[in-house]
Structure 1
Amino acid sequence: MKYKLGFGKDMLGIEIDDKDLLGVMQPNDVKIETSEIEEVRRAVRQPIDSNRLKDIVKPGEKVVIITSDITRPMPSKKVLPEILNELYDAGISKKDIKIVFGMGSHRKHTEQEQRYLVGDEIYEQIECLDSDVDDCVFMGETSFGTPVNIFRPVAEADRRICLGNIEYHYFAGYSGGAKAIMPGVSNREAIQANHSKMVMAEAKAGEMLSNPVRQDIDEVAKFVSIDFILNVILDEHKTIIKAVAGHHIAAHREGCEFLDKLYKVQIAQQADIVIVSPGGYPKDINLYQAQKALDNSKHAVKDGGVVILVASCKEGLGEHVFEKWMLGAQSSEEMIEKIQQHFELGGHKAAAIAMILEKCDIYLVSDLDAEFVKKLFMKPFKDIERAYNEAIKKTGISSKVYLMPYGGSTLPVLIP
């Protein structure tokens, strides 16, 4: 049969014999009864372990709404109107509201990108700004030793509202919740201290309660309070199918439970070849973002097998420290040794890729130059068919295959 996977803003096709295909990892069936806007409105009006937002804020208070940057699929323009309506109903003036894009360590937005994220009407009525790692306020230190350095407008606000989408994160367990604050509006020192815990065994996708990275993230709320969250879960078409709102822990946990029902996929065996796509733009805008899908795919491939990563990476590697690590190492083993000796934000993703390279080969179908890809210790291709044929030459004519069209969202779990 012929299958299609997202690649940038287009699709690429691959034909696989039915007898060789172990499965296509699709989201599990979950009954959806409301439209996107109805679901957001329901969540905002029925908050979890919290009063309604309009009953929390008071006229004259300075309010910041923290939302995701362009590298995330969070549909801010769809959810912001419901949040703003609650604020207006409470008597909050537009001049007392700021929308802050949590940039973490990512590049700044263009004006066009900010407009795209919130919509023209909101952009022209409400002040929108990117967080700035060079303008932060120190607010304390977590029990894990992480400095809480927060973007000044967020630190100085009277009220903080966190938006985000919930999906699996390869070492924080899940995105969403207080992650809008840490790393969203934190400085590089704080992010590096938090992310350094990724080397611990419990820091993995789908792990919440014993995950030191997530525990550290949630503890940040003791220093910079979160008054309300609104998180959404998206289906494979980036449509909102579930929204949770209210308390930053209770609402987030309920969203994570829903995500597990939707995206955890049990598998009886691992495959010789896994073909994975992050799902297209914006999740494959660069390798720094596409790495999440790659990391999920490692759970589905045999040792010595091949992962075919289908990701445009039109903007290249996407982060300067990540690029330095990927291009500066003589081998994948060197990156693993280096991260154990000296954790560096950006280098952490290079080390995560290196750990996958220790398990299997990576064939990269992308828009990147072939010679450049070879420097990343990956095999370059321009189409999936050629990559698949080359993979079969390595793993054998009877190789078994998994397809992961939404690799950043789908977490394979091997049945014991």
Structure 2
Amino acid sequence: MARIKLPYSKKILEINIPDRNLRAILESKVHSYKAEDNQEEIINKALDNPIGSIHLEELVKGKKNMVIITSDHTRPVPSKVTMPILLKRIRNANPNIDIKILIATGFHRPTTRQEMIQKFGQQIVENEIILNHLSEDENSVIRVGTLPSGGELWLNKLAMETELLISEGFIEPHFFAGFSGGRKSILPGVASAKTVMANHCSEFIASQYARTGVIKNNPIHKDMLYAAKQAKLAFILNVVIDSEKKVINAFAGDCQLAHEEGCKFVMNLASVKAVKSDIIITTNGGYPLDQNIYQSVKGMTAAEATCKEGGIIIMVSACNDGHGGKSFYESMANTGSPKEILDKVMKVGRTETIPDQWEFQILARILNMHTVILVSDMCDPEMIKKMHMEHAFTVEEALEKAFLIKGKDAKITVIPDGVSVVVR
């Protein structure tokens, strides 16, 4: 009997899998990677050795104002560690510079004050100017140009009008952009809803290159990189974190070159070989990424890559914040079947994308091929069922349901953290 730990919300669940059923445990080496230096030393070393850029201190000299873009409450960027270092180095080089921190909410809801305190710490929240990007506020964005895809590029005015724009973030596998971090702080981070939807069109989401760990030929990445360069994103600090959300490496400098180096590092640690099974158990890595069903689709894609056709995906995710998107929920709940959703969405033109279309398109793709049992004791079971998934309060209950469908001898692959791996 194998005893396996699964992150769930802010705790760890332990499950037992019979040896006769367990085929493999797919884990990223990110979680076992041991850094030689502490977090602060890692970050300062990256800032001391920028990739493809002059030092941050040189960039801020002579500037009257700047904007630091940071991730929102749905991303585990360790801003309590990174932001104080950035602010100290900037002010040591230019004590009088006006600094604003802009939260890249993308198409998410605004980050609350309490979430800001949890993310940055009380001192930064009380002493710095922190603003939420509002993607649907047309008065807060300006037209910058046209994306390679043909969509209109509208970006946050504050980001576009500042003298210096930099960003912080983290790099992990991403289910359609290839990897998070880098250029994503601009698009979707501080882009208008109209721009986000053009970039996330059904045609691009359906591309074989819009997959986890893939940047080359990825049409979504191409748009994002263009947006970052149009925004004149001058410098990034991107970290890589382990399962405890601790920094194990950092990359600073040019928004493309530093990001690419970070992606190579993550790929070397995160790439795992698919082991096809009847039942796949996966998670979204616990809090903060498993707060809603919307985000949990990411962990499901890792399972999708190693699940036999007609197999069962057991998604262990708290989803205490509910579905995570009204349009996402309604598009799933008000349609007869996942196949019907897919047929409809592929007829939607590139400039006619509706809110959350990308998310329900990917979920429908998964549900069209597999049964998903979502394990949560913090989310309304009826909501889950209306979205064409099954519900279980515990992993054990989900396994019972899965064994009834696939038989007691069904083979199981476990992915303890679905958002941290690139399944090949």
User: What range is the shorter-chain TM-score in?
Assistant: over 0.9
Q: Which residue identity is paired with 2:364? A: A
C-alpha deviation, 1:60, in angstroms: 4.1
Following superposition of structure 1 onto structure 2, how do residues 133-172 of structure 1 map, counting pairs within 5 Å? 133=135, 134=137, 135-172=140-177
Alignment CA distance shift 1:314-1:363 (3 Å): same
Q: Name the stretch that deviates more: 228-237 or 108-117.
A: 108-117
Q: Give the counterpart of 2:373 among 346, 363, 371.
A: 363
* Residue aligning to 1:352: 362
| 1:274-313 map, 5 Å | 274-313=280-319
Q: What SS does structure 2 have at the residue aligned with 1:227?
A: strand
Structure 1 residue 31: Cα displacement? 4.7
Q: In the alignment, which residue of structure 2 is the partner of 1:187?
A: 192
Q: Work out the CA distance in 2 between the residues paired with 1:163 and 1:261.
A: 22
1:105: which partner in 2?
A: 107
| Aligned residues of 1:44 and 1:245 also touching (Cα < 8 A) | yes
Please give the per-residue CA displacement for 1:20-51, whole angstroms capped at 9, x wherever unaligned.
21222222254521111110111011111111
Give the superposition deviation at 1:92: 4.3
Residue in structure 1 matched with residue 273 of structure 2 by the alignment: 266
What is the aligned partner in structure 2 of residue 380 from structure 1? 391
Report the secondary structure of 1:313's partner residue: coil
Q: 5 Å matches for 1:12-411?
A: 12-28=13-29, 30-93=33-96, 96-133=98-135, 134=137, 135-196=140-201, 197-267=204-274, 269-342=275-348, 343-366=353-376, 367-411=378-422
Partner Cα separation in structure 1 for residue 380 and residue 228 of structure 2: 43
What is the one-letter code of the residue matched to 1:215?
K
Following superposition, the deviation at residue 301 of structure 1 comes to 0.7
Structure 1 residue ranges (4+ consecutive) displaced by more than 6 angstroms after TM superposition: none
Q: How far has the Cα of 1:19 moved from its partner?
A: 2.7
Report the TM-score, using the length of structure 2 for normalisation: 0.94
Letter in 2 for 1:131: H
Identity among equivalent pairs (%): 34
**AA aligned opposite 2:226:** E
Q: Gaps spanning 5+ residues in structure 1: where?
A: none
- Preserved CA contact (<8 Å) 1:66 1:162: yes
DSSP-derived class of the 2:153 partner? strand
User: Structure 1 residue 257: deviation in Å?
Assistant: 0.4
1:6 aligns with 7
Read off the aligned partner of 1:80 and give its amino acid letter: M
Q: Which moved more, 1:96-105 or 1:393-402?
A: 393-402
In 2, Cα distance between the equivalents of 1:339 and 1:329?
A: 11
Hey, what's the Cα distance between the residues in 1 that align with 2:187 and 2:220?
10
The one-letter code matched in structure 1 to 2:37 is T
Indicate the SS of the match to 2:212.
coil
Moved more, 131-140 or 62-71: 131-140
C-alpha contact (below 8 Å) 2:169/2:238 kept by paired residues? yes
Post-superposition CA distance 1:277-320 (Å, at most 9, x none): 11111111001111111111101110011000001101100112
Give the distance between the partners of 2:50 and 2:279, measured in 1 at CA. 44
CA distance in 2, matches of 1:345, 1:369: 23
The one-letter code matched in structure 1 to 2:163 is D
Aligned-partner Cα distance in 1 for 2:63–2:273: 51
- Over the residues paired in the alignment, what is the CA RMSD in angstroms? 1.3
Alpha-carbon separation, structure 2, partners of 1:92 and 1:171: 40
CA deviations 1:180-233 (Å, max 9, x no partner) are 000000110000011112222211111112111001100113321011000011
Q: Secondary structure at the match of 2:402?
A: helix
Q: CA deviation at 1:370?
A: 2.4
Q: What's the CA shift string for 1:323-363, capped at 9, x where partnerless?
A: 22122111111211121112323022111111111111101
What TM-score, normalized by structure 1, do the two folds share? 0.96
In structure 1, what is the Cα distance between the partners aligned to 2:64 and 2:149?
32
Contact 2:187 2:228 in 1 (8 A): no
Contact map agreement 1:59 1:90 (CA 8 A) in 2: no
Partner Cα distance (2:104, 2:402) in 1: 39
Q: Structure 2: which amino acid aligns with 1:17? A: P
Per-residue Cα deviation, 1:122-158 (whole angstroms, up to 9, x for no partner): 2222200101221101111122212221111111111
Report the 3-state secondary structure (helix = DSSP H, G, I; strand = E; otherwise coil) of the residue aligned with 2:315.
Answer: strand
Measured against aligned partners, the alpha-carbon deviations of 1:53-87 in whole angstroms (never above 9, x if no partner) come to 00112234210000100001111121012211221
